[in-house]
A and B are shown apart, each in its own frame.
Chain A
Amino acid sequence: MTLLELEDIEKAYENEEVLHGVSLGMEQGDVEVLVGPSGAGKSTLLRCVNRLTEIDAGTIRLAGESIHDLDSNDLRQRVGMVFQDFNLFAHRTARGNVTLGLEEVLGMDHDEAVERAEAHLDQVGLAEQADSYPAELSGGQQQRVGIARALAMDPELMLFDEPTSSLDPELIGDVLAVMNDLAAEGMTMLCVTHEMGFARSAADTLTMLDGGRIVERGPPERLFENPQHERTESFLGQFTDFE
């Protein structure tokens, strides 16, 4: 089943074109990684999917339905997002970060929300840290709480916006492990990341974005081994050289 369809997406900020005619489709269970130089429009594209940013033109469909026909809050319950800077609620414990949406958005009673939150914290390896506040956690732990917070809403699609870019190198592994597990469990994931190891191992599709356009899109092996465009080759080359 086609879960997410983007058709001719256009987006400009103050006359500066960010996305120009971007189209792509994702089947349920697909893992897609978006790569490209900074300013390519990767994060903007991601944010358009849960309407943190509104598109200027084009159509985005989630499970066949235009997201602009949905209430944006309903849409966001169905589409989880993980942020580069974690954005954990600073005044709430790890558990409290997860329960907020469960109680206030899904209307769960407190005990049920706590139980579900703790299950999801356990899933990301943070059962012990449920009572910790974000400032008491490492970056890697914070990001895993961020993932648990999004997962607890039981989303159909997960968006990852450079989830490891703010992390110290030694903390990236734990976050990627959680993302790998999710991919293996069949979660549909659209990820902006520079982790090429993750792209190679977990992604079904790799999409190269530059200047607001899709340069090339296909299985990661093909883009790495046999890129059709010089731009893709030079961009991915920066990473493969070091591997």
Chain B
Amino acid sequence: MVVSGALRSLDPALTRTAIVLQSGDWGVVASNFDFLLVGTAVTILLTVSSLVLGFLAGFPAGAIEVYGTGRLRGLVAGAGVVLRGTPIVVLMMLFYLGLPIPQLGTVPGLEIRVSPFIAATLALGLRSAAYQGQVFRGAIQSIDDGQMEAARAIGLPRRGAVRHVIFPQAVRRALPGFQNEFTIVLKDTSVAIAIGLAELLTRAEYLFVQPERSTAMFELILAVSAIYFVLTFATNRTLDRLQTRYAIPEGDG
């Protein structure tokens, strides 16, 4: 198939035949692999920036939902409901079109514009914060009340008890939920195609919308799914290891 692709790119007549036959066209994937890898780098970067924002905002949000009071807690809970209740593609367009993000030019090497990257990070990051906050809230609430009581009973103030006794256990319990959220964010970076951010899927689309490469549409999408799969698989394996490593030792019974 690679050979036939290469032949076709030499001979326009063969290309036309190929469109009719819809035969495999992996040559386009092979010859544009570097182009897709740059998109993959953008996808990874966007995943990381969104997750970092999601954690930085979601961790305190979860804690505020458990320990907070009054207006702050209401605000956090309300923002969570809105963010979880809006489709991510809509959220991304809202941020891209609605926020006064300055045109900051492009990132050399990655060939992306900065402003859609910021909008995508905000949309994915804040939505992730809303979900990570729920994961963390649930983890905190699952810790037995006796842990807090025992901490208070030795004279630890509430803040110290939360920090030294509740959080270290809650973070461990939140790991499976975070793991879920990591892969969701990674896959949802592809939604940035809607605002023209040149991540992996956008780059693939850029390739197959051009008439001379349209025969390779299916192959390109297949290659893109394989790349996403490798990324999610690797992430999951890494987080599995992390969970095992930081698990609290248990006896044999």
Residues on A facing B (Cβ under 8 Å): 50, 52, 73-77, 80-81, 83, 85, 87-91, 100-101, 104-105, 132-133, 135-137, 146, 149-150, 153
Contacts and interface: CB of A to CB of B under 8 A. Distances in A.
B177 to A, nearest CB: 18
B146 A85 contact: yes
A149 B155 contact: no
B155 A76 contact: yes
Interface string B162-190: 00110011001000000000000000000
A83 B154 CA distance: 12
Interface stretch (B48-56, B126-134, B198-206, B244-252): B244-252
Contact of A135 (B156, B172, B248): B248
Contacts of A150: 153-154
A153 B155 CA distance: 9
B154 A76 contact: yes
Contact of B169 (A52, A75, A85, A90): A90
12 contacts: A52-B152, A73-B156, A83-B150, A87-B144, A88-B150, A89-B147, A89-B150, A90-B248, A100-B164, A105-B155, A105-B156, A146-B150
Contacts of B155: 73-77, 101, 105, 153
| Chain B interface, >50% SS class | helix
A43 to B, nearest CB: 12
Contacts of B196: none
A73 B153 contact: no
B151 interface: yes
B149 A135 contact: no
A20 B249 CA distance: 45
Given A52-B152, A76-B152, A87 B146 contact: yes
A52 B249 contact: no
B164 A90 contact: no
Given A75-B155, A90-B169, A91-B172, 8 more contacts: A52-B152, A83-B150, A85-B146, A88-B150, A104-B160, A105-B156, A133-B248, A135-B248
